[in-house]
Chain A
């Protein structure tokens, strides 16, 4: 689990993918995106603070050594930058 990403990093990478698409083609209008992903959760610590690790499964084939994935659904909505 040491190479697992933090949950926020994973969400930003997945959710931010739309931003790349918008930058590549300014003609696209996206207002709302819903994602549903399997995420492997674990808890780590840094400086006494709990850090939630959450990353997509590394392998398609599940084995007894893999963490049971959690279903995560999230909705991103377009907002003007302040």
Chain B
């Protein structure tokens, strides 16, 4: 990058913010070195920047005017400091549940550029937000327009990301409890529960479900159900399947834990 390079407007603004932070830090360091009790903080700064503007791929890019640039546009940028309460007030709308799937996890559906547009222009940071938006036709059309992504693609991505997926099947370490406690297995993945308890089958036979959460289902298989094809059905047509083999963990015949065979 050099003086002739263009860059997105938001990157320019971020770069200016970074320079302001550097200036504040440098002045605080200088005040300390001079043994002063106070420093000076930059509260407001305004720039009348002369620059060329380009609009490419739904992105505003600018290049500061170079020598002999007579026809450059003029940007009036004003930066001001904000207080912590202001940050918190404005961040509330963007708060995210830590376990929620980030929009960055949809790498198979959207390019980095498209995810950036969804996040920065459409305010879509996670799947919950995308679901909310697509449930409202007007909001969905607005986000599709500003992110330059067809509604069908957004809906397909949401459907794919909302479908159940199994990542692995692991045995649950025995925790005492005597012979009448059955051996358990943990199915890990995502979207494994949508409302009612899911139906779990191994090799076509149903399995008892002990506990189910979106990220994990605990089952109590019978002794002959420690290998085969597993399926988790969360709703009609919403099925995740996986092959597994945990026969080495199968309890000995005398230790079936009272589970009928």
- A residues lining the B interface (CB < 8 Å): 1, 6-9, 11-12, 15-16, 18-20, 22-23, 33, 39, 41-45, 49-54, 64-68, 70-81
Task: List the A side residues contacting B215 at CB < 8 Å.
Answer: none
Residues of B in contact, count (CB < 8 Å):
48
Assess whether B64 is in contact with A43, with CB atoms less than 8 Å apart.
Answer: yes
Beta-carbon contact of A50 and B7 below 8 Å: yes
On whether the beta carbons of B21 and A8 are closer than 8 Å, the reply is: yes
Q: Any chain A CB within 8 A of the CB of B43?
A: yes
Asked if B34 is an interface residue, CB under 8 A from chain A, the answer is yes
Chain A interface, >50% SS class = strand
Given A45-B5, A50-B7, residue A67 in contact with residue B67 (CB < 8 A): yes
Task: Tell me if B58 counts as interface (CB < 8 A to partner A).
Answer: no
Does B39 interact with chain A (Cβ within 8 Å)? yes
**Smallest CB separation, B6 vs chain A (Å):** 9
CB distance from A41 to the nearest CB of B (A): 4
The stretch of B8-16, B116-124, B158-166 in contact with A is: B8-16
* Given A12-B22, A67-B66, A70-B47: A45 touches B38 (CB 8 Å cut-off): no
CA distance A72 to B46 in the complex (A): 6
25 sample A-B contacts, Cβ–Cβ < 8 Å, listed by A number: A8-B18, A8-B22, A8-B26, A9-B22, A9-B23, A12-B23, A12-B30, A16-B26, A18-B40, A19-B30, A19-B39, A20-B34, A23-B34, A39-B47, A42-B64, A43-B12, A45-B2, A52-B19, A70-B48, A73-B45, A77-B40, A77-B43, A78-B39, A81-B32, A81-B37
The answer to whether B67 and A66 have CB atoms under 8 Å apart is yes
Contact A11 B7 (CB under 8 A): no
In the docked arrangement, what's the CA distance between A19 and B64, Å?
Answer: 31
Q: Residue B50 at the A interface, CB < 8 A?
A: yes
> What 10 pairs across the A-B complex have the smallest Cβ distances?
A45-B1, A8-B22, A8-B19, A12-B26, A74-B45, A76-B40, A11-B23, A42-B3, A23-B34, A7-B19
Shortest B18–chain A CB gap in Å is: 7
The distance in angstroms between the C-alpha atoms of A72 and B20, with both chains bound, is 13
Q: Name the CB-closest residue of B to A70.
A: B49
Of the candidates B2, B37, B49, B50, the one whose C-beta lies within 8 Å of that of A80 is B37
Complex Cα distance A42/B6, Å? 10
Closest to A13 in B: B26
Residues of B within 8 A of A (CB): 1-3, 5, 7, 11-12, 14-16, 18-23, 26-28, 30-32, 34-51, 63-69, 72
CB distance from B207 to the nearest CB of A (A): 51
**Complex Cα distance A4/B36, Å?**
30
Given the known interface contacts A8-B21, A11-B20, the answer about A65 and B67 at a Cβ–Cβ threshold of 8 Å is yes
Name the residue on A nearest B35 (C-beta).
A23
Which residues of A are found within 8 Å of B64, using beta-carbon distances? 41-43, 67, 70
The answer to whether A81 and B19 have CB atoms under 8 Å apart is: no
B19 touches A11 (CB 8 A): yes
Bound: A67/B64 CA distance, A: 9
> Beyond the given A19-B36, A73-B45, A78-B39, could you list 9 further A-B residue pairs with CB under 8 A, ordered by the A residue number?
A6-B22, A7-B23, A43-B2, A45-B5, A50-B7, A65-B68, A74-B45, A77-B40, A79-B40
